[in-house]
A and B are shown apart, each in its own frame.
Chain A
Amino acid sequence: MSHTSPIELRDQARRLLAELQAKEQLKARDRLAIPQQEMPSQDPIVRGRNMSEVTFGYFEEQARVEAERCLQCRNAPCVAGCPVQIDIPRFIRQVAEGDYEASLATIRETSLLPSICGRVCPQENQCQEYCTVGKSLKDTFKSVSIGRIERFVADWGAGLQGLSDDALADPNPTPPSALGTDDPAESGRPMAAAEAPDVKPPTGRKVAVIGSGPASITVAADVRREGHEVTIFEAFHKPGGVMIYGIPEFRLPKRIVEDELRTLEAMGVEIRTNFLVGQTRKLRDLLDKDGYDAAFIGTGAGLPRFMRIEGENLVGVFAANEFLTRSNLMKAYDSDKAHTPIYQPRRVAVLGGGNVAMDAARTAIRIGAEEVYVIYRRSRVEMPARAEEVDHAEEEGVRFMLLKSPTRIIGDENDRVVGIEIQEYELGEPDESGRRRPVPIPGSESVIDLDTVIVSIGNDSNPLITRTTPELEANKWGNIVTDERGKTSMDRVFAGGDIVLGAATVILAMGEGRKAAAAINEMLAV
Chain B
Amino acid sequence: MHTIIEKRQLSEQVYLMRITAPLIAEARSPGQFIILQVDTEYGERIPLTIADADPEAGWITIIFQAVGGTTMRLAQLRQGEAVAAVLGPLGNPTHIENFGHAVCVGGGIGAAPLYPIAQALKDAGNRLSVIIGARSKELVILEEQFTRIADELIIVTDDGSHGRKALVTEPLKELCERDPRPDLAVAIGPPIMMKFAAATTKPYDVRTMVSLNTIMVDGTGMCGGCRVTVGGETRFVCVDGPEFDGHQVDFDNMIKRLQSYRAQEERAKHACLAEAQATAKGNV
Do B87 and A276 touch (CB < 8 A)?
A: yes
In Å, the complex CA distance between A314 and B256 comes to 8
A26 in the interface (beta carbon within 8 A): no
Q: Which residues of the other chain, B, contact A464 by a CB distance below 8 angstroms? A: 220-221, 239
Among A280, A313, A319, A340, contact of B44 (Cβ-Cβ < 8 Å): A340
In the complex, how many residue pairs between chain A and chain B have their CB atoms under 8 Å apart? 132
Do A302 and B222 touch (CB < 8 A)?
A: yes
In Å, the complex CA distance between A202 and B39 comes to 35
CB-CB contacts of B34-76 with A at 8 A, as 1s and 0s? 0001011111110000000000000000000000011001000
Do A414 and B256 touch (CB < 8 A)?
A: yes
B115 in the interface (beta carbon within 8 A): no
Q: Which residues of the other chain, B, contact A276 by a CB distance below 8 angstroms? A: 87-88, 90, 220
Do A325 and B223 touch (CB < 8 A)?
A: yes
Q: Which residues of the other chain, B, contact A281 by a CB distance below 8 angstroms? A: 23, 27
Consensus secondary structure, chain B interface: mixed
Q: Which residues of the other chain, B, contact A275 by a CB distance below 8 angstroms? A: 23, 87
CB-CB contacts of B87-116 with A at 8 A, as 1s and 0s? 111100000000000000000000000000
**A312-349 interface (Cβ within 8 A of B):** 312-316, 318-319, 321-322, 325-326, 330-331, 334-335, 337-344
Do B42 and A337 touch (CB < 8 A)?
A: yes
A279 in the interface (beta carbon within 8 A): yes
Do A315 and B256 touch (CB < 8 A)?
A: yes
Do A302 and B221 touch (CB < 8 A)?
A: yes
Consensus secondary structure, chain A interface: loop
Stretch among A63-71, A147-155, A231-239, A361-369 lining the B interface = A231-239
The residue of chain B having its C-beta at the shortest distance from the C-beta of A411 within the complex is B256
- Taking the closest CB of chain A, its distance from the CB of B23, in whole angstroms, is 5
A303 in the interface (beta carbon within 8 A): yes
Question: By CB atoms of chain B within 10 A, which of A319, A415, A416 has the most?
Answer: A415
CB-CB contacts of B244-269 with A at 8 A, as 1s and 0s? 00000010110011011101110010
Do B217 and A325 touch (CB < 8 A)?
A: yes
The residue of chain A having its C-beta at the shortest distance from the C-beta of B217 within the complex is A325
Do B225 and A322 touch (CB < 8 A)?
A: yes
A306 in the interface (beta carbon within 8 A): yes
A185 in the interface (beta carbon within 8 A): yes
**B208-242 interface (Cβ within 8 A of A):** 217-218, 220-225, 227-229, 234, 236, 239
Assuming the contacts A273-B85, A302-B221, A415-B253, asked whether A341 and B261 have C-beta atoms less than 8 A apart, the reply is: yes
In the complex, 26 of the A-B residue pairs with CB atoms within 8 angstroms, ordered by the A residue number, are A237-B40, A237-B85, A245-B222, A276-B87, A276-B220, A279-B89, A281-B27, A302-B221, A303-B239, A304-B222, A304-B224, A312-B234, A313-B250, A313-B253, A313-B257, A319-B225, A321-B222, A322-B223, A334-B42, A339-B43, A340-B42, A341-B261, A341-B264, A416-B256, A463-B221, A464-B239
Which B residues form the contact surface with A (CB < 8 A)? 23-24, 27, 37, 39-45, 69-70, 73, 84-90, 217-218, 220-225, 227-229, 234, 236, 239, 250, 252-253, 256-257, 259-261, 263-265, 268
